[in-house]
Amino acid sequence: MIRIQPALTAFLLTIQWTFASPTVATKGFGVRAGGLGNNFTAVADDFSAMYWNPAGFGFTPIRELYFSAGGYHHSNEAVLQGTTTRDKQQNFRISGAGFVRSIPTTQGGLSFAFGYFNSYLFDDIANQSGSNVYIGDDSTIPYATPVYIDSLTRISSGHLDNWAVSGGIQIAQGLAVGATLSFLSGKQNTDLRDLTRNDVYTDWASVSEKSFYGFGSTIGFLYKTSRFFAAGLRLDLPLIAKVFEDYEELDRLYPEYSISASYEEQLSSTLSGTWGASFSLPAILVAADAHFRSPTANTGLLTSNEELAYWKLGAGIGFELPIKAISSRLRAGYAFNETDLQPVVIVDFPPYGSILDDYGKHMFAAGFSHLISNSINFEAGYQYSFRQLQSGEPDFRHTTDEFHQFHKVNFGISVRY
């Protein structure tokens, strides 16, 4: 058995990291929006408009108190050379709370909102076991060295909180603009453990805690030609934020080489946005969105994510059916997005491993709402998503197939007065 020297231990860890991208965040909030498959840019008529399209407040002459929460379950199945490894994680969080207040005007509409919401979830899990073969050109490691991975595990958790103020105003007949300014704060905790044996032996672990602070801004436009049709545009401007990381690395074979450190980085991001359209027919509401994220030439830590060099696109459609006899609404939706690292995710390791084939993320959604009284509305929704990918590393012969599944249940209550 080869006992790898300390200088090579971390190297072997990174080149063995052949599964999963770094943490993939989940964006958005709002129970009704979620039930429509997050196709809400041209609807945006409740508190969650501060995320989806603040221009919607220009057509929302209401006073509303809002609260929502939900649970999230993520499972992953990884297959390496016939060996299947399964893992899962789950959580429950408050997703949004705040109020909307309209202001009387002589012409058009004007409303503002203040509140809290989770815009990003950093929950991710990946675990693999199985055999691989080293075929790299490192002179200290013999060519075709067999590697058996007992356990290679990464667990990430956390979220990004937005404390936001938002408003929208009609500036012409049928046209509104709006903006949201958010103070951002949040944490991302990542635990990593590698246990490898046979001709290569490592026993290594690390713990990372990142804290985010900064500001984010969104601008929106909404055009309504009539009560039946609307078109909207949301632009998420690059974030102005910093990340602080406390990092600890433990080498169980060579404890004297264990380290701890702290880092501070300026957080960069890209421009992203959504085009949307909605049709409000007497018997059904149809809403569709198309998403984009622009490429970037960032310097710093984010350059280790090669995916940021490419455009990322997505689209979806949602339906809502009113049932007037029982004061309720049923809704369903679908969305497809090219898998992306969101702009607030810092890459933990150099890009030795890479995703060879990523088939994107599919989401199916459903939900309902019920008007309890003239002013109290209850909503619930469910989202099922899945993502399939194949990842690998040029220095290793075999690749890993992963299948991720996500279940999300939300509920909310709003009071209009």
Per-residue pLDDT of the chain (417 residues; tens, 9 = 90+): 344 444 444 434 433 333 334 444 567 789 999 999 999 999 999 999 999 999 999 998 889 999 999 998 999 898 988 889 888 899 899 999 999 999 887 777 889 999 999 877 778 887 778 888 888 887 777 888 887 777 778 888 888 899 999 999 999 989 999 999 999 998 888 887 776 655 555 677 888 888 889 999 999 999 998 789 999 999 999 888 888 889 888 887 778 888 888 888 777 677 889 999 999 988 999 999 999 988 765 544 433 445 566 788 899 999 999 999 999 999 999 999 876 544 444 333 333 345 556 778 899 999 999 999 989 999 999 999 998 888 777 778 888 888 989 999 999 999 998
Confirm if 111 and 49 have CB atoms less than 8 A apart: no
Adjacent-strand bridge partners of 178: 168, 220
Q: For residue 401, what are the CA distances in angstroms to 208, 336, 363?
A: 26, 20, 20
Q: Report H helices in 17-120.
A: 31-35, 49-52
Confirm if 87 and 76 have CB atoms less than 8 A apart: yes
Domains in the chain, start-ordered, CATH in brackets? 2-416 (2.40.160.60)
**Taking the CB of residue 283, how many other CB atoms lie within 10 A of it?**
6
User: Which residues lie closer than 8 Å to 202 by C-beta, 6 or more apart?
Assistant: 4, 9, 12, 13, 194, 195, 196, 253
Bridging pattern class, strands 285-293 and 63-80: unpaired
Residue where the block lists tokens 């058009």: 108
Instruction: Please state, in angstroms and rounded to a whole number, the distance separating the CA atoms of residues 178 and 276.
Output: 15
pTM here? Answer: 0.86
Q: Is 393 helix (H, G, I), strand (E, B) or coil?
A: coil
H or E element in which residue 9 lies: helix 6-16
Strand residues in 173-311 grouped as ranges (E): 175-197, 200-224, 229-236, 240-251, 259-267, 272-280, 285-293
Of the candidates 412, 407, 410, 367, the one whose C-alpha atom is nearest the C-alpha of residue 35 is 367
CA-based angle 90:217:316, to the nearest 5? Answer: 55
Instruction: Tell me the two tokens of residue 387.
Output: 């993502």
Burial level of 257, CB count in 10 A (0-12/13-18/19+)? middle
CA-based angle 26:29:30, to the nearest 5? Answer: 150
Chain Cα centroid distance, residue 181: 19
Q: Tell me 8's DSSP state.
A: H
